[in-house]
Chains A and B, each alone.
Chain A
Amino acid sequence: MQPYATWKYVLLIVVMVLGGLYAAPNLYGEDPAVQIATQSGDALANDFGDVVGKTITEAGAKAKLSVLKNQQWLVSFEDEAAQRLAADALKRAMGNDYVVALTTASKTPEWLRAIGAKPMTLGLDLRGGVHFLLEVDIDDVRKKAVERYLTELPAFLRKNDIRYTGRHQSADAVLLDFADADKLSAAKSALAKEYSELMLTVLPSAPLTLEVKMSVVEAKRIVDFAVKQNLTTLRNRVNQLGVAEPLVQRQGQNRIVVELPGVTDATQVESLLGATATLEYRAVDESDANLAASSGLVPADSELFYTRAGHRPILLKRDIIAAGSQLVDAASTVDENGSPAVSVTLDGSGAKKMFEFTEKNVGKPMAVLFKEREVVTNYNAKGEPMREHRDVQEIISIATIRGVFGKRFQTTGLESKEAHDLAILLRAGALAAPVDIVEVRTVGPSLGADNIRRGFQAAVLGLVLVMLFMVFYYRVFGAFAIAALVLNIVLIIAGMSIMSATLTMPGIAAMVLTMGIAVDANVLIYERIREELRDGQTPHASIEAGYDRAFLTIADANVTVLIGTLVLFAMGAGPIKGFAITLALGILTSQFTSIVGSRSLAHLVFAKRKLKDLPIW
């Protein structure tokens, strides 16, 4: 029997050591921890650690470890009592500009973290939390773009002295009417030069009408842009919630996944994610609003709204003094009477206009208009979902202008929770397009813990059963296969930890399944060795033949399983992706462990012995 090449032993040992090291962090468990980050996402100050340390010590808690991680300060504690004590103290000390969240920190020792080893991420189904799938309303994005062109294009034509006789809007196009063909062609060439993203066509049915549509590329671009803006906004909103390790990620063309580990009350979060609230500051038109409401006659420069409290009609001037987009900061607070309020800071242009307005209008009333767009899904008679928008436009406060102000002021007239939510929404900005929540999955923490326990027990039982069977059937060689199998599991865990892959319940199922599939390679080899022995080959030659001949077959068989998992990975989301990754990784590592691993053992044990038969029967 040829001695097995030294480099293969070396490779095996290196893989074993590395696998062991990178899988190890999963054994250490976790400490309760507190995570502190800036509200704005800015970097933390250099001496931030000292401030945190001081606050914690003053609160009487003892920090175990205090480090900077991904622009966030992470402090771990021995027990949950210390964690809560410190978190409360930090919240009070840091104020509104920082997010303080409860989390957990791995107990992985420093020397392991130094080589980049970290534990696997657990999926929401294993640790509890809420998963949202949001769908960005594409139709609304397109409609808004068409509306914008409907005002922009005529203005452009007027500037260029090209007269049009009418403008209107169809589903996805702006239609411009002209008096004669010359004007139309002049408009067409002028527009084509300025707006290369638009498609200009004259329909044969209406020769004097120019149809303006967005090109396919442009339509796609604006949707893409809106989804990206929504991603940013949602990220801001989620950050405000003070949840540790939130995930906000785009999925497909117009969907966004939001995952919040540890959160169990979806209701509160849901309203915050989907809301598209903004504020407008407007002057009150002091003519008779009741009359306008009953007669329907509203002055040309005013609009009719109702107050949130009491549903009273109020006329507001169309001109907006300041809007939500001019806001730089908003915080919930209490006014001098102790009732909830939102303290607002405006940017330069907003402050200037506010100053000019209040200067001229002291003693007159000013109103705050609250605008929110909700998406409601209803079902028609056929049971098909119908998405409808509901616009909420309410006056939340009317106040008399007491003095001249610009940059900073307060808005009152809200309930405490409203003030809190509104401040978050204003700070995080408005969504570029309405979103619809199409999927919500909440997993309670007890279920997550149960799943881990059950998955672990099933894996252990599976391993023990396979072990007993293999040793009973293949004797010493069965033990080799089991050693390879254990190494395989270690490698799967190490691989997932290195890749930062997420372990889910289906992923655990995949790991258990891999045990069955991985020993298949050994069964194939051992049956072949037995066959060679039956055919009268020497034991050593049989071992060689068994491994050599089975290699390609095993590879072929594994490729087809991989094809299945690749397809799953491509189509799947969340837990199923976890299944596909785990299974694929398990199959790849088994190709190494079942063949190189068990072969090395066979060589190590049998290569130098004189044998009449093999302990494989």
Chain B
Amino acid sequence: MRIFAKVPNFNFMAQRKAGLWVSSLLSIGVILMMLLGALHLGRNLNFGIDFTGGVLVEVVYPQNIELDSVRNDLKAGGYHNPIVQYFGGTREVLIRLAPEEKENSSAISASVLQALGAEQKGVQLRRIEFVGPQVGDELTVNGSLAMVFAFIGIALYIMFRFEWKFAVGAIAALVHDALMVVGFLWIFQVEFDLTTLAAILALIGYSNNETIVIFDRVRENLINQRKGTIYDIVNLSVNQTLLRSIITHVTTLLVCTALFLLGGPSVHSFSISMIVGVIVATYSSIYVSTGLAVALGVSREDLLPPETKEIDETP
């Protein structure tokens, strides 16, 4: 099957300024939205207990259960602000407790089950997790550091393989992609746990794929075609790699959708983050990374190997 009869010829670089503006505004918008949301509405990212510390209990009821009745049971048991939600179905319930109870973990698990009336109602414990606040704090620090290290590592690699202007473009695209995903998670209050962080880090590597494929093509075209402005060559390269980008994204979206549909609730936030990130990466590789590199004034000389001396030595 073919989508285009020949290599398409969209003038992507003509829209590069608009593209950069839109992406910058979107990024700033997301940051502002999250900051203002946190300050005025008290709405933060929905961090999981991996980051906040606390207790998480997953139970299964023998029949469908109203969340309010679970909440009431817990309140009667002395837990004042439990977060109670369905987890997969209307029999499976996930309970999160803030790390304020002055008990050790085993005492909590016993008393939560007692509050739920587990024995009388046939409630089955699926999983219970207790994370101390010190572990959560540490993970927040380590997670942020991990992001920074990933950015630095990728930037260094691109500088080594290409050139610093490309590295700047690539990192800008990565930051943009990560921000869009986090913004999405914020708006829809998707739980941000350790696997979500893993998704974002994997995404950073993945979305950079696009950028590298385009950059590689730009370099190849520069070597093969001595004519044409950098502008034309970048445009050509983006067009040449366009189909490949679309198709790769389709396959990745297919597997992530499979994971979302059948993988169960424990990989929901992982697959959602990947799906959003893959979609965002499609345009950011064109408009943000490549667009920015062009805007920074990438030139022929930046990418071509220095002329070899052999030519001089010919008589």
Contact = CB atoms under 8 A, between A and B. Distances in A.
Given A454-B263, A516-B252, A553-B216, A527 B157 contact: no
Interface stretch (B30-38, B77-85, B197-205, B296-304): B197-205
Contacts of A549: 220
Interface of B: 1-2, 6-7, 58, 60, 99-100, 102, 104-106, 109-110, 124-135, 142-143, 145-146, 149-150, 153-154, 157-158, 161, 194-195, 197-198, 201-202, 204-206, 208-209, 212-213, 216-217, 220, 240-241, 243-244, 247-248, 250-259, 261-264, 266-267, 270-271, 274
26 contacts: A438-B135, A440-B129, A444-B125, A451-B264, A455-B264, A455-B267, A458-B261, A458-B264, A465-B258, A470-B251, A513-B202, A516-B251, A516-B252, A516-B254, A516-B256, A517-B206, A520-B252, A524-B213, A527-B243, A530-B2, A553-B217, A559-B157, A560-B212, A563-B150, A571-B145, A580-B198
A506 B198 contact: yes
Which range holds the interface residue count of chain A?
Answer: 35 or more
B127 A266 contact: no
A383 interface: yes
A472 interface: yes
B80 to A, nearest CB: 14
Contacts of A510: 202
Given A377-B132, A447-B58, A560-B209, A441 B264 contact: no
Interface in A357-400: 376-379, 383-385
Interface in A167-186: none
Nearest to A535: B7
Contacts of B259: 458, 462, 509, 512-513
A526 to B, nearest CB: 8
Contacts of B250: 469
A517 B249 CA distance: 9
Nearest to B240: A531
Given A450-B264, A458-B262, A461-B261, A441 B153 contact: no
B243 A457 contact: no
Contacts of A470: 251
Contact of B258 (A135, A512, A524): A512
Main secondary structure of the interface of B (DSSP, over half): helix
A95 B204 CA distance: 57
Contact of A568 (B102, B105, B129, B198): B198
Contacts, number: 244
A473 interface: yes
Contact of A566 (B106, B143, B153): B153
Given A438-B134, A505-B267, A524-B213, A565 B261 contact: no
Contacts of B263: 454-455, 457-458, 508-509, 512
A472 B264 CA distance: 29
A409 interface: no
A506 B105 CA distance: 25
A560 B130 CA distance: 34
A547 interface: no
Interface string A430-456: 000000111111111011001100110
A473 B266 contact: no
Given A135-B134, A437-B104, A572-B194, 5 more contacts: A264-B125, A376-B104, A438-B134, A451-B264, A576-B198
Contact of B132 (A385, A446, A571): A385
Nearest to B108: A440
Given A447-B127, A458-B258, A571-B143, A520 B248 contact: yes
A457 B198 contact: no
A443 B194 contact: no
A444 B202 contact: no
A564 interface: yes
A437 B132 CA distance: 8
Contacts of B261: 458, 461
A534 interface: yes
Interface string A412-443: 00000000000000000000000011111111
B127 A441 contact: yes
